[in-house]
Amino acid sequence: MLDSFWTAMKEIRKSEVTRKTAEMLPGGRVEKDPFPSRIDGQKFQSGGCYFGIRLAGLHMVNARQYGSLRFPLFVSLAEFKQNGQQRNVSFSIGPKEILNKLDTAGALKSKDTKPGWIELRDVPIVRPTPVDVDNVALFAGLYSVPGDDVVSTLLDVVGDLSKTAGTFVPTGPVNLALDVTKKVYEGFGSLIGLNSLTPLVQAENGSVLSDEGSGYLVIANIAPGALAEKNIIVRKGQLLRGDKMVTDVDYCLLAIERYATVLEEATGVAPNLFEDGWKEVLNVIGSEDAQASAVRMRKLLAAIRGAPALIESDRTAAMAAYLRRYNEQMMMTDPLVGQKTRSGRGKAASKALSSALATERTRLTGRDAVAADKLTAIVELLDVGPPPKRAKKTPTPLKMAAEMRSTLLKMGDGSDTAVADALLMAV
């Protein structure tokens, strides 16, 4: 899609800016970042972590020209593989939003010398996505758009683009995202051919996940190699030359982020991906149909097991955490029976689940020692009998889920597929 994108833009490219560059500033040249754990220079490992692309800011030297005759527009298109399938993510920030931020910063005032800097602390272009074997290609451009009779059409197109801005997180087949992107791309196509659409900066980078690890990508109207100067750094999300913000060139500042996990640290789960499935389980726990909760729990675990939005280690940890929650609910919740029966039924369900997992562990012993060890840890997590009489405080399910995730990660990579399958079969 990037190739066809560039082909369609050949008319615009005839008037390319004469000085531009797209260079990475690695983690070693980043200071006091608002998201330090994501921009620490760690390497990207296929299947072992996630990448994310965040728009940190835009700068326009002649910001005061905008608002009447011309308008600013930012557009990007990312292309990569997820779970072996091609995925394309388009993104834009339209004139109205940019102008509002420039006005707030005072950059549109006729006698004001403030830089036309728009700081965008947490605007995702691509949300955390598992790193695949192939690299990530990214096109990004900042444009000056004519403010004539095409503006109304332009704003409509930009609005359509903005609706897809980093909002799609696939939990099923990723080709669904491609259909959305194609429609957005067709909308952007209406801009092609406008000779007065001027690129301030634009560039395509075919290997965004560089060997230098996470950091900031700077696309700037500047001589190639200029950003290699040691005094050029990113501090607190801003591009600096020494101690002063760079304000003499047009540029886009994008964060290329690395995530070790997307599971919540406090809970060990991913509610933004699977909360609806968990609610389905909760709705039938304690119902007259004794198998209803198990059926829905199996459906939830299957969804986690096959989610392309998770790396293998996160899948195993998330399945274990949700299984722990399920076991707790089975122990505590049964509104249709009395307390005495409820306790007995919950213990029986817990014992049956632990027994099934123990059977799977025995089957794996000798074949996959790591998987067997991980199942042992999960069985211990599920052993939720009454607390000792002298116990001052029973650990919450959330805390135990977080501890489980930490325990599984300490056991190392690998064998997660076997563990995930065993968890699914045990319910």
- Average pLDDT by consecutive 10-residue portion of the chain (427 residues)? 51 47 89 93 93 92 75 84 83 76 64 68 86 91 71 55 48 42 49 61 88 93 82 94 91 95 82 89 81 91 92 89 86 51 58 84 88 87 55 58 75 83 88
Q: Are residues 8 and 31 in the same domain?
A: yes
pTM of the predicted model, to two decimals?
0.81
Task: Determine, yes or no, domain membership for 385.
Answer: yes
Task: Determine, yes or no, domain membership for 264.
Answer: no
Looking at residue 380, what is its pLDDT? 81
Q: Are residues 174 and 137 in the same domain?
A: yes
Do the beta carbons of residue 63 and residue 108 sit within 8 Å?
A: yes
Q: Write down the residue that tokens 């399945």 correspond to.
A: 319
Q: Are residues 294 and 250 in the same domain?
A: no
Q: Are residues 376 and 292 in the same domain?
A: yes
Give the bridge partners for 259, in sequence order.
Answer: 50
Do the beta carbons of residue 235 and residue 28 sit within 8 Å?
A: no
Q: Are residues 162 and 290 in the same domain?
A: no
Q: Are residues 239 and 282 in the same domain?
A: no
Q: Are residues 293 and 221 in the same domain?
A: no
Where helices occur in 189-246 by DSSP H, the ranges are: none
Residue type, 211: D
CB atoms within 10 A of CB 167: 12
Looking at residue 15, what is its pLDDT? 45
CA 374 – CA 359 distance, rounded (Å): 13
Domain that holds residue 160: 2-259
Q: Are residues 296 and 153 in the same domain?
A: no
Q: Using the 8-state DSSP alphabet, how is residue 275 labeled?
A: H
Q: Are residues 288 and 216 in the same domain?
A: no
Please report, for residues 86, 121, 245, the alpha-carbon distance to residue 236 in angstroms, rounded to integers and kept in the order given. Answer: 34, 10, 11
CA 385 – CA 331 distance, rounded (Å): 9
Backbone angles phi, psi at 309, to 5 degrees: -80, -5
**End of a domain among 259, 294, 326?**
259
CA 294 – CA 330 distance, rounded (Å): 10
* Helix, strand or coil, per DSSP, at residue 214: coil
Looking at residue 239, what is its pLDDT? 94
Task: Determine, yes or no, domain membership for 152.
Answer: yes
Q: Using the 8-state DSSP alphabet, how is residue 191 labeled?
A: G
* Helix, strand or coil, per DSSP, at residue 172: coil
- What's the token pair of residue 295? 């059926």
Task: Determine, yes or no, domain membership for 355.
Answer: yes
Task: Determine, yes or no, domain membership for 216.
Answer: yes
